[in-house]
Amino acid sequence: MTRKTLLPKRKLATLLLVAMAALTACSAAGVATSAPAPRAPEGGAVADAKAAAGNGTSPAQGIPGLASLQRDLILTANVSMRASDPWAIADSARAIASGLGGDLLGLSQGGSGENRSATLTIRVPANRFDDALTALKKLDGDVVASNVSAKDVTDQIVDLQARLTAAQALEQRYLQILAQAKTVDEILRVESTLANTRTQIEQLKAQQKTLNDQVAFSTITLSVSSVPVLPVDSKPIWDPSKTFDRAVAALTVLMRTAADLAIWLFVLGWIPLLALAIAFAATRLRATRVPTT
């Protein structure tokens, strides 16, 4: 092998080593990123979610709210209510979510009659989160418990964007190296590394989309139970048939008692008579033996 043939291979190997070192450095830098970096202007649902974070529901309205300024928040709420018809409340809540541009994630209904219950989970655009809570409060029921929580994912989104940008830049670098490859072995090595980089890019995009969706849409879980029905203390109504039934029952008991007493007297009544006869005979016997004067 001549010196002229070795030079391009050494040059290509050097470029591969530099690119791999850059990939490792970018990954480490992405993991270590903690402070928010300058971000491009955001629009759409993510920007709406940030705007919605500044509108907290007043505690005086029955459902608490959270307020934040220009942060990426995942908002969730749990509301418990009591209503005379929980199934109707669940249908109304579903209609509220649909009207605000949201959808239903889950619905469970159970019970019957006065013991019905319903649990549903809805999601609404983050900029309509407070509107949804206010509308739920106005339903025909009483709010017995509620809570709102927010998870700040601003740093995670910034970190993912930085790692994605670095990985995309590295992908372009590998494409340039691939164009300079001369042998089949060099092409295969570059394509293998390029495939790993593209896999990493797709994973970062999937994580970024998941976070953006969670920020753009807030989740509300509503649990509705029936209102306890108290027994009505009504005045008793006189019913002659019931009185007659009670009288017949009392007479039956009395006659049964008398019959039982007669049977006992018939079976055991001779015992006291026998004792009385023995006593009378003993008295007469003693009288006859006494001598007369």
pLDDT at position 162: 94
User: For residues 69 and 63, is the Cβ–Cβ distance under 8 A?
Assistant: no
User: For residues 81 and 141, is the Cβ–Cβ distance under 8 A?
Assistant: yes
pLDDT at position 236: 66
Chain centroid to CA 206: 25
Report the b/e string of 209-220 with b at 16+ CB within 10 A.
eebbebbbbbbb
Q: Which residues of the chain have pLDDT under 50?
A: 1-8, 25-62, 65-68
pLDDT at position 292: 54
User: For residues 128 and 102, is the Cβ–Cβ distance under 8 A?
Assistant: yes
Chain centroid to CA 63: 18
Backbone phi, psi, residue 15, to 5°: -65, -40
pLDDT at position 49: 42
What phi-psi label fits residue 44: left (phi over 0), alpha (psi between -120 and 50 degrees) or beta?
A: left
pLDDT at position 230: 64
